[in-house]
Amino acid sequence: MLFNIGFRALPWCAASGALALAARTIALGRGWSVEAASFAAALTVGAAVQLLQSRIGVSGNALDVAGCIPMIPGGFATKAILGLFTVMAPNAANDTLGTAVGNALHVAFTIGALGTGLAIPTLLLRVRGMK
């Protein structure tokens, strides 16, 4: 782990990641796009963490982020960067830029979906708790 998380929280981080990957795998199996499946998985993890945070005594932000790290689209990011390097080559193909931009958009929308999916339960439960 790249975070300063105590040993007591590591099993909960693993459970959060497993829940996220299970939810995304189920959504992908039903034919959803990677972005939509990642949003649904992040929403699931965010809701579960918000509901269980007071019972387990671990920081909700750490569990949210640790659970969604495996869903960051590293393959698309790598293809986007390599595609942009290829565009700079003297004999670049015409469709290389389109492919690189398409991969970059996959990355941007997936990361946006992850952030939005994690923020919605936090905002909804915070507003509900203030009343």
What is the residue-level pLDDT of the chain in tens, covering all 131 positions? 456 777 777 888 888 889 999 999 999 999 999 999 999 999 999 998 888 877 777 777 777 888 888 888 899 999 999 988 888 877 767 778 888 899 999 999 999 999 999 999 888 876 554 44
**Secondary element (H or E) of residue 45:** helix 34-56
End-to-end Cα separation, the chain, in angstroms? 37
Q: Which residue has the tokens 């829940």?
A: 19
Going from the C-alpha of 1 to that of each of 4, 40, 41, 63, the distances in angstroms are 8, 24, 21, 12
Task: Give the residue among 83, 73, 59 at the shortest CA–CA distance from 24.
Answer: 73
Instruction: Tokens for 72, please give them.
Output: 């960051």
